[in-house]
Structure 1
Amino acid sequence: MNKLEIHSPNSPILLTASLHVDEARKAIASLVSDLLTESQSRNEAGSVELVTLDQAINRILAEDLLSPIDVPAADNSAMDGFAFNGDCLSSKDDIVTLKVVGTAYAGKPYEGSIGKTECIKIMTGALMPNNCDTVIPQEFTESSDSSSVTFKQNQVKRGENQRLRGEDLQSGKAAISAGRLLRPSDLGLAASLGIATLKVHRKLKVAILSSGDELRPLGQALDAGGIYDSNRHSLTGLLNRLNLEIIDCGIVRDDPASLKSAFLEAASLADVLISSGGVSVGEADFTKQIMQELGDVGFWKIAMRPGRPMAFGVLKPADPKNPDRKSLFFGLPGNPVAVMVTFYQFVRSALLQLNGANQTEPPLIQAIAQTPIRKKPGRTEFQRAILERGPDGRPTVRLTGSQGAGILRSMSEANCFVILHHDQGNIAAGDWVDVALFDGLL
């Protein structure tokens, strides 16, 4: 691999032509796929670990989780009602009256026998007696007492309201597929099967740094021209949402020796390096020279707003203990909002893919624009907005105000992105637009 191309890493992408967002996304996914193939061919040790359920949230399942039992483990009632043999429904009488001979509770089955004109009172989850196959819900009965129950025959069909053994999941079948980003419900499912530990992919190690002579750490008084470094803290929050191991490499000054040293150290420690700043048109030649010495990196000008300049590729630190070592590199813009947008659009999916996830793209929903939105065709825009429910119950969305790439307040107030696609033009009030929620993403 020499340089990074849109479709294959054979020649550089420089800051001379704008790249479509979808093309950039495909190029990143292709390179990550290549890295995964190389890693698998080397059969690298330590890529999978065993964790308890309480440690597994937001981890990625490394192999199919096979159920050791049938679910449900036996036929049981899906309703509170009365269980009986469905043979009695073949009667020509419109009204069915059955004798109540007992009660079954969840965890306490009825042990006696049941005749064709008899039934038992049964609770949800209670085991069905051997010769019963139908449950009439309590609310569908005409009358009932401790000795009998009466209901119309057309209120229930034979076999209704019972859950059959193995209906949800059969023993030996996959309960959760490999590549799943584990959610609370997945952990509950594993626990319901009696499984206490899960095999998950090792957490990626992600190094972050900010570059710029104007940046100051928190706690230090600002001098003339100085600004506080917010990007590393935004990136830390974004990465913590993915439950990854973070290596904070701090602030790096704008000189070749400092940058080269910081990049080498980060690449030797981490699977992925994310930097912010130093990739705009005026700075690209300076950073590009260092990147050419350390690996294969392309500098892109992407047809998007915010977040136009970005660098992407592979760093190869000289490591005699591991000569094949490579680290994925993302050079993000310096503007605070652009950092978060480019992370959301490109980095998040790449990290999930590299960590073994089978679902990496966030879902989109649609909402009605409350006001007009100006948009030029030829670029993808990510407008910060607030999604809410309109008076008619339909989802509506409104922008947070000024959408400048340096206005971090626009992100703090928003709960979603309005995504205006490459070929879209102006949006009128009342038009439907695509929306990506922040919750679970940012």
Structure 2
Amino acid sequence: MAQLSDDCFAFGGALLPIEAARTLILERVGIVAGVETIPLAQADGRTLAEPVTAPFNVPGFTNSAVDGYAVRFDDLSTDAETRLSRVGRIAAGHASTDRLIAGEAARIFTGAVMPDGADTVIMQEDCHEDGDAVLIRPGIKRGANRRLAGEDIAIGSEALAAGRRLGPPELGLLAALGQSTVPVRQRLSVALFSTGDELREPGTTLAPGQIYDANRFMLASLLTRAGAQVTDGGILPDRPHDLAEALVAAAARHDLIVTSGGVSTGEEDHVRSVMNAHGSLFFWRLAIKPGRPVALGQIGGTPLIGLPGNPVAALITFVAVARPLIEAMTGTQPRIPRRSQAISGFAYKKKLDRREYVRVSLEVGDGGPPRLRRFPKDGAGLLTSLTETDGLAELPETLTRLEPGMAVDFIPYGELL
């Protein structure tokens, strides 16, 4: 279990800037996930626990990048067609034992070992056969279409650093290095709860004043994508005793607890009081919109992050705070969403010193830069504001007014989720 000191997140201000919260997490939270070795085929989405050093060159031999003819560049004319004798045939998986001599061209196929003496490959489209000869057009560069041994990875070099999140390219690279197993960080065990008397499970009958619980399913997906192993704790009622009992029990069996709802200032918001009574509360208000009420603390030494109850705020604060916490606890290299510049198609006023995220659609014009169209409604509980837009316009703390035509950072949902 993670053990956080009671003062490691102490903050005296009214609202904690989002970058300050992330910096504190990265600086103060250590790796708690252990290491296990698993088959390469099961490693998608896992975090590499140890650096991988190339045990040999990749490719292991100099080879042809195309189908064509292996030649000696010095035999080629620079301004006229060259005629060379055709000798041999080299297919992938087979090596030629003959050395190419002056005036010869060897038929070769993609991936095949370059014969001794050859340094250039002519694509078959750039030449034509004439009996026992091959005619080659001028203009070919020395070393064309040749892949050198170690061109991809040199023996002894670091192929992948520890903390790398493994995806399709990384799995392919590990396979190219001959690794059938890989050391990875164990999945973080996360207990997930929703809180609120108004919540009910999808598929049940709603009474007046009740709604279906959307957050738990959304957050479970986000946690799984972040590499966590999720225990669904269900819906907790707005009763301090029951809430405390469930969270204390979860803390004893998990690496992290994630809740949504119950972290604001209302009389029925009890998550913060439970943290204060059974552990520590480090911060609970961030300078971010949507999503100001975010609580980070611990119960019995197990970190607990309480996200807002509104779905849009829950998603944005998960990306902003919860995922960096999970990355720190698993030793995963931080994922930084890529931003692109777009032109605002709307006016917007915001508070100074607060990071704000506006749900927008991306409109690509004829030759001009893309423009952003704001979703017509602004509520943090509107799930359609996520499903019917393309991403978020990120407005920095220093900005107080956005005007149409101004440049703004745009983050597509694909970079966030």
Q: Shared fold by TM > 0.5?
A: yes
Task: Give the 3 Å change call, closer, same or farther, for CA 274–92 of structure 1 in structure 2.
Answer: closer
Aligned residue identity for 1:407: L
Residue 3 of structure 1: how far off its partner (Å): 4.1
Instruction: Report whether the alignment pairs 1:86 with 2:70.
Output: no
Whether the 8 Å contact between 2:344 and 2:407 is mirrored in structure 1 is: yes
Instruction: Report whether the alignment pairs 1:222 with 2:222.
Output: no
1:213 pairs, out of 191, 197, 208, with 197
- What is aligned with 1:256? 240
Whether the 8 Å contact between 2:187 and 2:227 is mirrored in structure 1 is: yes
More moved, 64-73 vs 250-259: 64-73
Aligned with 1:439: secondary structure? helix
Aligned residue identity for 2:92: A
- What is aligned with 2:393? 418
- What is aligned with 2:91? 105
Task: Give the 3 Å change call, closer, same or farther, for CA 12–375 of structure 1 in structure 2.
Answer: closer
- What is aligned with 2:359? 384
Q: Distance in 2 between matches of 1:30 and 1:276?
A: 25
- What is aligned with 1:347? 322
- What is aligned with 1:124? 110
2:335 pairs, out of 343, 348, 360, with 360
Whether the 8 Å contact between 1:380 and 1:421 is mirrored in structure 2 is: yes
Q: What runs of 5+ residues in structure 2 fail to find an aligned partner?
A: none
Residue 138 of structure 1: how far off its partner (Å): 3.2
Task: Give the 3 Å change call, closer, same or farther, for CA 332–221 of structure 1 in structure 2.
Answer: same
Aligned with 2:401: secondary structure? coil
Task: Give the 3 Å change call, closer, same or farther, for CA 92–261 of structure 1 in structure 2.
Answer: closer
Instruction: Report whether the alignment pairs 1:137 with 2:123.
Output: yes
Aligned residue identity for 2:386: M
Q: Distance in 2 between matches of 1:152 and 1:179?
A: 49
Correspondence list, 1:27-426, <5 A: 27-32=24-29, 35-36=30-31, 47-89=34-76, 94-141=80-127, 143-153=128-138, 155-283=139-267, 286-316=270-300, 326-387=301-362, 389-392=364-367, 394-426=369-401
Task: Give the 3 Å change call, closer, same or farther, for CA 393–161 of structure 1 in structure 2.
Answer: farther
Matched residue pairs, number? Answer: 414
Aligned with 1:436: secondary structure? strand
CA RMSD of aligned residues (A): 2.5
Task: Give the 3 Å change call, closer, same or farther, for CA 243–381 of structure 1 in structure 2.
Answer: same
Aligned residue identity for 2:63: N
Aligned with 1:19: secondary structure? coil
Residue 437 of structure 1: how far off its partner (Å): 2.2
Q: Structure 1, residues 404-423: CA drift from partner, whole Å, max 9, x if none? A: 11111111223322211111
Aligned with 2:107: secondary structure? strand
Q: Structure 1, residues 109-163: CA drift from partner, whole Å, max 9, x if none? A: 444443201111222212110111122333444x54342233355x123333211
Whether the 8 Å contact between 2:262 and 2:272 is mirrored in structure 1 is: no
Q: Distance in 2 between matches of 1:250 and 1:58?
A: 25
Aligned residue identity for 2:57: D
Residue 58 of structure 1: how far off its partner (Å): 0.7
Aligned with 2:414: secondary structure? coil
Q: Distance in 1 between matches of 2:131 and 2:370?
A: 50
Residue 272 of structure 1: how far off its partner (Å): 0.8
Q: Distance in 2 between matches of 1:47 and 1:375?
A: 43
- What is aligned with 1:25? 22
Q: Structure 1, residues 195-215: CA drift from partner, whole Å, max 9, x if none? A: 221111000011111222222
Q: TM-score, normalised by structure 2?
A: 0.91
Residue 284 of structure 1: how far off its partner (Å): 9.0
Residue 12 of structure 1: how far off its partner (Å): 5.4
Whether the 8 Å contact between 1:418 and 1:435 is mirrored in structure 2 is: yes
More moved, 418-427 vs 91-100: 91-100
Residue 388 of structure 1: how far off its partner (Å): 5.1
Aligned with 2:252: secondary structure? helix
Task: Give the 3 Å change call, closer, same or farther, for CA 441–30 of structure 1 in structure 2.
Answer: same
Whether the 8 Å contact between 2:289 and 2:355 is mirrored in structure 1 is: yes
Q: Distance in 1 between matches of 2:328 and 2:44?
A: 17
Q: What runs of 5+ residues in structure 1 fail to find an aligned partner?
A: 40-45, 317-325
Task: Give the 3 Å change call, closer, same or farther, for CA 294–361 of structure 1 in structure 2.
Answer: farther
Q: Distance in 2 between matches of 1:167 and 1:214?
A: 61
Whether the 8 Å contact between 2:262 and 2:269 is mirrored in structure 1 is: no
Question: Percent identity over the alignment?
Answer: 39
Q: Distance in 1 between matches of 2:20 and 2:99?
A: 68
Q: Distance in 1 between matches of 2:78 and 2:108?
A: 26
Q: Structure 1, residues 5-29: CA drift from partner, whole Å, max 9, x if none? A: xxx43x455xx71222212222222
Q: Structure 1, residues 22-79: CA drift from partner, whole Å, max 9, x if none? A: 12222222332xx33xx5xxxxxx8111112221111001112233332111111123
Whether the 8 Å contact between 1:284 and 1:299 is mirrored in structure 2 is: no
Residue 185 of structure 1: how far off its partner (Å): 1.4
Aligned with 2:169: secondary structure? helix
Aligned residue identity for 1:105: A
Q: TM-score, normalised by structure 1?
A: 0.86
Aligned residue identity for 2:132: S
- What is aligned with 2:409? 434
Task: Give the 3 Å change call, closer, same or farther, for CA 429–102 of structure 1 in structure 2.
Answer: farther
Q: Distance in 2 between matches of 1:60 and 1:232?
A: 24
Whether the 8 Å contact between 2:238 and 2:268 is mirrored in structure 1 is: no
